[in-house]
Amino acid sequence: MKKFIIFVIAAILLVMLTGCFLFHPGTPHETYQTLEAALRDLRFSCSEPAFLPEGYKRDSIIIWTGNLLEITYKKSGSPMIEFCAIVEHERDVDSFMNHFNFKPDWFPVTAELEINGAAVVAKGKSEEDFKIAAWQTDGISFAVRVGFYDEEGLPLDVISNIIESITDIKNLAD
C-alpha cells in the first residue's frame, strides 16, 4: 500500500510539472513598467488604446521572444483585454487565434469592418460577444483579445472603439 501511495504522489507531481511546461514553456520574455520603455526594444511604435471600457486598468506590458508586444488590461470581475502587436510576421485573425489556442469553430460569427483605413476581422460567439479582432497597418500585425473562451466577450462597437483609439503607428524596421 505504501508503494502505491508513493506512486500516486509521484504521478500527481509529474502531471503538475508537465502542465507547467505546457503552459509556461520558458518562452523568453521581458516585462516593462512603461510602454515607452518597451517600444525602445521593438522595431515599431504605437500608442496603447486610449479607449477602454470603464474600470479597466493596465496590468502588464510584456515583450515575448523579442518581437511580440502584449499589453494586458484588467478589471475586477470582468474578462481581461489584451492588445498585441508584432512586426516580424504577418498575422491574420486565424493565426492570432492559433497563438491564443482558440479553435475556429468556437466563434461562428465573423465581422469585417474598416477602422482607421485598416481592414479588421473580428470573430465571436454572437453579435454581443466578440472575442478577438485582428488587422494590419504599416507592416505591423495587431490583435485585441477579450478573455478566454469561457468568459464573456465584448460587443463589436466596444472593440471597434478600442481599435480606433490606437494611434501613432510607425514601422521602424524600414
Assign residue 121 the CATH number of its domain: 3.40.1000
In the chain, what is the greatest distance between 2 CA atoms, to the nearest angstrom?
69
Mean pLDDT of the 38-67 span: 88
Over the Cα atoms of the chain, what is R_g? Answer: 19
Overall pTM > 0.85? no
Q: In sequence order, what are the beta bridge partners of 31?
A: 62
| Residue 173 clears pLDDT 70, i.e. is over it | no
Is 1 part of a structural domain of the chain? Answer: no
Integer distance in angstroms from the first to the last C-alpha of the chain?
Answer: 67
Is 21 part of a structural domain of the chain? Answer: no
Is 60 part of a structural domain of the chain? Answer: yes
Model pLDDT for residues 60-89, shown as the tens digit of each residue = 999 887 778 899 999 998 899 999 888 766
Quote the domain boundaries for residue 120.
29-171
Q: How far apart are CA 174 and CA 158, in angstroms?
A: 33
Helix (H) or strand (E) holding 158: helix 156-164
Mean pLDDT of the 109-117 span: 92
Is 103 part of a structural domain of the chain? Answer: yes
Is 128 part of a structural domain of the chain? Answer: yes
148 — pLDDT class (breaks 50, 70, 90): confident
The domain total for the chain is: 1
Is 147 part of a structural domain of the chain? Answer: yes
Residue 110: which of 91, 90, 132, 95 has the closest Cα?
A: 132
Is 14 part of a structural domain of the chain? Answer: no
User: What is the structure's pLDDT at 90?
Assistant: 60
Q: Which segment of 29-33, 53-57, 70-74, 100-104 scores lowest on mean pLDDT?
A: 100-104
User: What is the structure's pLDDT at 174?
Assistant: 57
Q: How far apart are CA 98 and CA 80, in angstroms?
A: 18
